[in-house]
């Protein structure tokens, strides 16, 4: 007896293609946000930095401020805003602690956790979107 073919939207190749497309979208959104931060006077210290606690999309700094930035790309800014879960926020805070333990030279007078929402070429940065406690 032959197994029934997988539904088109459940095939491994289709899933892989969607995953790759999502990664490409995320990477281009991160590049767009990194460019905007750089033109605002920030130096990009790290991009897609993996830690044991999770990945940080962007880490940027100027003389006074260190930014940890979560980038979310979706078809609309509203959809991007809803994509930042409480669990993900907790992971970002934990990952930031790991990064600062490894790179104490990155510490600044002020540390902020921003979320950058991207839809096409539109970018909206929510400053100080995530806080400890």
**Number of residues that make up the chain:** 133
The reported pLDDT for the residue numbered 66 is 98
User: HEC string of 9-64?
Assistant: HHCHHHHHHHHHHHHHHHHHHHHHHHHHHHHCCCEEEEEEEEECCEEEEEEEECCC
Q: In order of start, what are the domains of the chain with their CATH numbers?
A: 10-126 (3.40.1350.10)
Query: Average pLDDT for residues 28-43, to the nearest whole number?
Result: 96
For residue 108, give Cα distances in angstroms to 10, 42, 61, 86: 47, 13, 8, 26
Dihedral pair phi/psi, residue 115, rounded to 5°: -120, 125
Query: Average pLDDT for residues 28-50, to the nearest whole number?
Result: 96
* pLDDT beyond 90 at 72: yes
pTM over 0.85: no
* pLDDT beyond 80 at 7: no
């Amino acid at each position: 007896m032959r197994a029934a073919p997988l539904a088109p939207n459940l095939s491994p190749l289709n899933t892989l293609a969607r995953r790759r497309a999502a990664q490409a979208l995320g990477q281009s959104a991160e590049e767009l946000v990194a460019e905007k931060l750089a033109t605002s006077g920030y130096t990009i210290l790290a991009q897609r930095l993996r830690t044991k606690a999770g990945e940080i999309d962007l880490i940027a700094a100027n003389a006074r401020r260190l930014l940890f930035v979560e980038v979310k790309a979706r078809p609309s800014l509203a959809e991007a805003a809803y994509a930042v879960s409480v669990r993900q926020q907790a992971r970002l805070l934990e990952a930031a602690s790991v990064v600062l333990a490894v790179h104490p030279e990155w510490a600044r007078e002020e540390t902020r956790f921003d979320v950058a929402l991207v839809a096409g070429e539109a970018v909206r940065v929510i400053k100080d979107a995530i806080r400890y406690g």
